[in-house]
Every structure is written in C-alpha cells, then in structure tokens.
Amino acid sequence: MNQTATLAASQPKVLADVLTRSRVRDAALVIGAALLTAVCAQISIAVPGSPVPVTGQTFAVLLTGAALGANRGALGQMLYVALGLVGLPFYADGAHGVDVVFGATGGYLLAFPISAWLCGKLAEKRYDRTPQTALPAFLVGSIIVFAIGVPWLAISADISPATALDLGFVPFIAGGILKAALAAGLLPTAWAFAHR
C-alpha cells in the first residue's frame, strides 16, 4: 500500500469518526441524532391549507446523516421515527403515534432514514468537506424526503398528485434550499475546526 492510500485510510470518513470509535459512542451518536431531530421538529410553522408544516426536521436529517455516516445516520432517524411511533411527543408540534406515521405527513417521516443514509454515504465520499460539494449532496437528501412524502400525501389525503405538489412541495422549496445551505455551511466549518 502506498503512502497516499495509507494516509487516506487513516483519515476519518465522517465527522463523527474524529472521535475515538466505540460501540457506546456510536450508540450515543445514534440517540443524539434522534433527539436532535425531535428538538428540530418542534420548530414548526403551519402552512395555510396544508397538513404539512415547515419544520427543522429535514435540517437535522441532513446534518446527522452527513456527520454520522450512512448507517449510523439512518439508524438515528429510524430511532426518531420509532420513538414517536411508540408515543413520545417527538414529531412536529409534539405529535406522536401511529396516526401520524400513517397520516398525511407519514411519508416524509419514513423518508428520513433513507435521506440520512444517502447524505451519510455522500459524506463518506467526502462531499461534506466543502460548501460547493455539500450543498448539492444535501439538496439531493432533501429531494428524497419530498419524493417519498408528496406521493404519500396524495394517497393518504386522497388528493390529486398536482394538489399534493401544491400542498406538500411548492411551499417548502425555499425552506428546503435554506436548510440544505445551512447544513452545507456547518459541516465544512466543523471539519475545519476538527483539523485544527
């Protein structure tokens, strides 16, 4: 193995790997991802006429997926969905339970682990190191949430696909770009501090 390959192999794949790896630490990071998402879910703004609020959840999904990597990021979001499903007030506005997961916003929730996994996979390939590469990666992560959430909204609310787009996607475009941009600024900044 040449020196460049050895150096690349010894560098952390994702931000969480800057810390010494252990099962306890990994478990704490997964739990932390779920709790951060729950806190960000409480940043909730109702959209007139839409059952889907603007929340901070997607920001947490993008950030934790990239910071923890694909598997831990996805596990953190699966834990988040599971904890809300069993009754903890973790979803937007303190909501919880089966009715939420199988209701109008359920598709967005179920997309979170997939989005986190993809963002984590892209971070493992070093896309989170600069804003120029992080922003497109996080925009793709956001699009996944809508790609699953909007059709789910159409089916669960018994509305047309066009109406679902109007209610579940169009009002969220600017916010989605803003959340992706914030995450794309934070991750490279955190990497810069980690390398000091």
pLDDT in tens, 79-115: 999 999 999 999 999 999 999 999 999 999 999 999 9
Tokens of 42: 């409480």
Tokens of 79: 């834990």
- Domain ranges for the chain, please list them: 16-194
Measuring CA to CA, how many Å separate 67 from each of 13, 74, 114, 130, 149?
9, 11, 15, 13, 24
Q: Which residues contact 14 (CB under 8 A, 6 or more apart)?
A: 66, 67, 68, 69, 120, 123, 124, 128
pLDDT at 10: 62
Say if residues 71 and 120 touch (Cβ distance below 8 Å): yes
Q: Which residues contact 147 (CB under 8 A, 6 or more apart)?
A: 111
Q: How many CB atoms lie within 10 A of CB 54?
A: 19
Q: Does residue 21 carry a pLDDT above 50?
A: yes
Q: Where does residue 7 rank: exposed (0-12), middle (13-18), buried (19+ CB within 10 A)?
A: exposed
Q: Does residue 6 carry a pLDDT above 80?
A: no
CA distance 26 to 23: 5
Tokens of 36: 């951060």
CATH (residue range 16-194): 1.10.1760.20
Q: What is the pTM of this model?
A: 0.92
**DSSP letter at 21?**
P
More confident residue, 1 or 157: 157
